[in-house]
């Protein structure tokens, strides 16, 4: 796997396309024979799977939407679900999808990231301080950090950052001596703000970010407090396409991970939607999945780093308001509290006031509403901490924002 990944970063554009097309042909054959969704589609559309041979043939396959993975994800499986890992996510949209991953696909994901890290001199398995949604203290015993020994990780919660806890937190972080900091930009900058206010710095080899757009202010703060470069990658829970920055500042598609198509956004001349066809998850083949993420125009190549990986424009649309807890803590990427609320047609969490969160639920005929509500309360307790007010509103459809998009988390006045 690593050998192939190393070979691809030195490959010519033609060699890269050759690799993509070989994998595409094999995946189409597999899907057409073993995936219920694609078996039916090929039969109904009378397309011969063997006729899908090149990137130019790809658009003959149908586009997949979020709701395809929200409603009947099992129709895409070609392996038994117990042979794979299952993951759920809403992303920043209000539809929760379910996906399955093979062990090989998860190893490939990590190997692809490690290849990018190597461009910045990050060791293969760095000691990593991780700030995402992990709760290091599920039993409320007051611990601030947790070590994951096999993974060489120290996790801290993005939702427990405040000046009172900082001295003890910093002591535990320094004892662990991280080589990198990894996680959501909004969380890493929330910690950065606390450090800056306290006149502290925490130099590391690199800051590894994903999941959100980084603002110029966030980038400046991170570089000041953490000194090392920001290494950002773009991906999704569905794992259909990946991209990331290189040491020369280019933002590259990772074309051996997946085929990226850029679909024009209606009514816009400077925006494209990222559509991904993953080339590594043999148990759950997907083709042409619409991510809902939009990019601007790609800069003219080639990149000074010399790699033939195509450049990608600036990725928009992954910005989410930070919520505030009842006791005033910042709550970054609040859509975390809806990511496992499956079985709903749509779902949104709205902050009506600091510490008051309303779940807007659109059930189907088969939704177990009381189970969903129990899970939602539990999520708020786990991630945002106790002492918050949780209310529910049952709706036929969640209202869209001014651009017509369904958002997973919004700050809204009561109406």
Nearer to Zn ion, 58 or 295 (CB): 295
Nearer to Zn ion, 145 or 245 (CB): 245
Q: Is 246 one of the binding residues for Zn ion (CB under 5 A)? A: yes
Q: Is 250 one of the binding residues for Zn ion (CB under 5 A)? A: yes
Nearer to Zn ion, 119 or 159 (CB): 119
Stretch that binds Zn ion, among 127-135, 299-307, 327-335, 347-355 (CB under 5 A): 299-307
Instruction: Give the tokens for residue 345.
Output: 């047609």
Rounded Cα–Cα distance for residues 274 and 290 (Å) = 7
373 close to 357: Cβ distance less than 8 angstroms: no
Which of positions 369-388 make contact with Zn ion (CB under 5 A)? none
Stretch that binds Zn ion, among 1-9, 189-197, 238-246, 318-326 (CB under 5 A): 238-246
Nearer to Zn ion, 120 or 392 (CB): 120
Give the long-range contacts of residues 220-224, CB within 8 A, separation 24 or more.
221/189, 221/192, 221/193, 221/196, 222/185, 222/188, 222/189, 222/192, 224/192, 224/196
Nearer to Zn ion, 18 or 299 (CB): 299
- 61 CB-contact burial (10 Å; exposed 0-12 / middle 13-18 / buried 19+): buried
Nearer to Zn ion, 43 or 248 (CB): 248
Phi-psi region of 214 (alpha: psi -120 to 50; beta: other; left: phi over 0): beta
Going across the sheet that includes 258-264, the strands are 258-264, 272-278, 289-295, 315-316
Q: Is 248 one of the binding residues for Zn ion (CB under 5 A)? A: yes
Q: Return phi, psi of residue 326, to 5°.
A: -60, -35
Whether cis (ω within 30° of 0) applies to the bond prior to 183 is no
Q: Is 299 one of the binding residues for Zn ion (CB under 5 A)? A: no
Which of positions 144-173 make contact with Zn ion (CB under 5 A)? none
| Enclosing H/E stretch for 173 | helix 166-176
Q: Which of 305, 326, 353, 412 binds Zn ion (CB under 5 A)?
A: 305
Rounded Cα–Cα distance for residues 398 and 414 (Å) = 14
Instruction: Give the tokens for residue 151.
Output: 């993974």
Q: Return phi, psi of residue 162, to 5°.
A: -150, 160
**What is the smallest separation between the CB atom of 4 and Zn ion, expressed in angstroms?**
19
Residues contacting 4, CB < 8 A, separation 6+: 256
The residue written with tokens 């975390």 in the block is 336
Q: Is 244 one of the binding residues for Zn ion (CB under 5 A)? A: no
Interface size with Zn ion, residues (CB under 5 A)? 5
Question: How many other C-beta atoms are found inside a 10 Å radius of the C-beta of residue 332?
Answer: 25
Stretch that binds Zn ion, among 199-207, 247-255, 263-271, 392-400 (CB under 5 A): 247-255
Q: Is 118 one of the binding residues for Zn ion (CB under 5 A)? A: no
Nearer to Zn ion, 122 or 303 (CB): 303
**What is the smallest separation between the CB atom of 9 and Zn ion, expressed in angstroms?**
10
Stretch that binds Zn ion, among 4-12, 171-179, 196-204, 303-311 (CB under 5 A): 303-311
Nearer to Zn ion, 307 or 339 (CB): 307
**What is the smallest separation between the CB atom of 269 and Zn ion, expressed in angstroms?**
26
Stretch that binds Zn ion, among 217-225, 243-251, 271-279, 285-293 (CB under 5 A): 243-251
Q: Which of 181, 240, 303, 380 binds Zn ion (CB under 5 A)?
A: 303
Interacting residues with Zn ion (CB under 5 A): 246, 248, 250, 303, 305
């Amino acid at each position: 796997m690593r050998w192939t990944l190393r070979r691809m970063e030195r490959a010519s554009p033609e060699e890269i396309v050759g690799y993509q097309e070989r994998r595409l042909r094999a995946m189409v054959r597999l899907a057409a024979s073993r995936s219920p969704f694609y078996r039916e589609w090929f039969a109904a559309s009378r397309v011969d799977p063997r006729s899908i041979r090149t990137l130019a043939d790809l658009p003959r396959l149908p586009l997949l939407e979020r709701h395809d993975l929200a409603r009947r994800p099992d129709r895409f499986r070609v392996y038994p679900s117990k042979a794979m890992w299952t993951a759920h996510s809403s992303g920043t949209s209000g539809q929760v999808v379910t996906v399955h991953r093979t062990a090989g696909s998860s190893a490939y994901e990590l190997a692809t990231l490690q290849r990018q890290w190597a461009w910045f001199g990050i060791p293969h398995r760095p000691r990593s301080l991780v700030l995402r949604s992990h709760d290091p203290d599920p039993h409320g015993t007051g611990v601030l950090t947790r070590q994951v020994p096999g993974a060489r990780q120290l996790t801290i919660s993005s939702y427990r950052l405040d000046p009172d806890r900082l001295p003890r937190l910093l002591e535990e972080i320094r004892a662990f001596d991280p080589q990198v900091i990894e996680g959501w930009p909004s969380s890493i900058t929330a910690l950065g703000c606390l450090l800056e206010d306290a006149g502290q710095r925490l130099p590391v080899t690199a800051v590894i970010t994903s999941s959100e757009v980084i603002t110029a202010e966030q980038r400046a703060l991170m570089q000041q407090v953490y000194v090392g470069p920001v290494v950002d990658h773009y991906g999704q829970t569905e794992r259909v396409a990946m991209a990331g920055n290189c040491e020369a500042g280019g933002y590259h598609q990772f074309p051996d991970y997946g085929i990226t198509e850029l679909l024009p956004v209606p009514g816009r001349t400077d925006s494209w939607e990222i559509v991904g066809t993953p080339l590594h998850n043999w148990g759950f083949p997907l083709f042409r999945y619409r991510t809902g993420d939009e990019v601007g125009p790609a800069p003219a190549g080639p990149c000074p780093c010399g790699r033939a990986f195509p450049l990608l424009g600036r990725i928009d649309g992954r910005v989410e308001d930070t919520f505030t807890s009842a006791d005033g803590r910042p709550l970054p990427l609040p859509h975390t509290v809806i990511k496992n609320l499956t079985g709903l047609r749509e779902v949104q969490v709205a902050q009506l006031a600091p510490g008051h969160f309303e779940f807007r639920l659109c059930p189907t005929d088969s939704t177990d509403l009381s189970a969903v509500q129990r899970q939602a309360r539990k999520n708020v307790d786990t991630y945002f901490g106790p002492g918050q007010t949780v209310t529910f509103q049952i709706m036929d459809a969640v209202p869209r924002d001014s651009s017509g998009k369904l958002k997973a988390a919004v700050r809204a006045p009561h109406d």
